[in-house]
Amino acid sequence: MFIKLLLYLYICTGLAIDPNLDCPGIIIVPRDEWGSVIPKIDEELSETPKFVFIHHTESETCSTQNTCEEYLRNLQLYDTNILGRKDVGMNFLIGGDGRIYEGRGWNTVGDHTPGYPQSIGISFIGNYDDFLPTSSMIKAAKNLLNCGVKKGTLDFEHSVNGHRDASCSHCPGNALHGEISTWSGFRIHDLSYRNCWEKK
């Protein structure tokens, strides 16, 4: 009945079907909506990603859609003008308002974790060395992963790790790294390239 109603709305009224409908529990703010000024680079992932890397922005967080969108616009300028990236490095970012902000999205190669171009980078906006993101932010990230699996844009058996597990970085902060190490997908042994601390 619900599907029929959607079809009716789509066919008879011309209303677009919300692309987030197949991903319950999350709100993804598309890059057009937060005011992206630079086109997403067109380098598609060549395989369904098997790795997810969690980051934090090591900055103030944002608590409303307006302030989070402003943060995204500034981040894009920083990533491109200062760091020399072609776009925002992350595939997705989680705002303090519990919304998910589209970076490069599911299908485009990101620029976030060296050695793992075929992976999805998700960054929590804020600094999570000493305290955790809110429960709504954590829930949004977990729902996003479930959504990716459901849509077929993330491998069913993907592993989740922190940036620090694969690189010389403290990202995503001690508290957040402790949190993701309890997630069912956390599998550091899946990494072929481990962090620099273990190599010494």
Residue in this structure with the two tokens 């299908």, named with its chain if needed: 107
By beta-carbon proximity to Zn ion, the closer residue of 31 and 112 is 112
Give me the least distance between CB of 4 and Zn ion, in Å please.
45
- Using CB under 5 A, which residues numbered 30 to 69 contact Zn ion? 55
163 is an interface residue for Zn ion by CB under 5 A: yes
Euclidean distance between CA atoms 119 and 107, whole angstroms: 10
Stretch near Zn ion under the rule CB under 5 A, chosen from 15-23, 71-79, 157-165, 186-194: 157-165
Under rule CB under 5 A, residue 171 binds Zn ion? yes
Q: How many CB atoms lie within 10 A of CB 154?
A: 23
Tokens of 44: 């598609």
| DSSP letter, residue 108 | B
Any idea which residue has 């809110």 for tokens?
134
Residue 163 CB, nearest approach to Zn ion (Å)? 3
Q: Are β-strands 92-94 and 100-102 bridged in parallel, bridged antiparallel, or unpaired? A: antiparallel
Q: How far is the CB of 165 from Zn ion (least distance, A)?
A: 10
Nearer to Zn ion, 62 or 122 (CB): 122
Q: Are 93 and 101 in contact (CB under 8 A)?
A: yes
Q: Which residues are near Zn ion by CB under 5 A?
A: 55, 163, 171
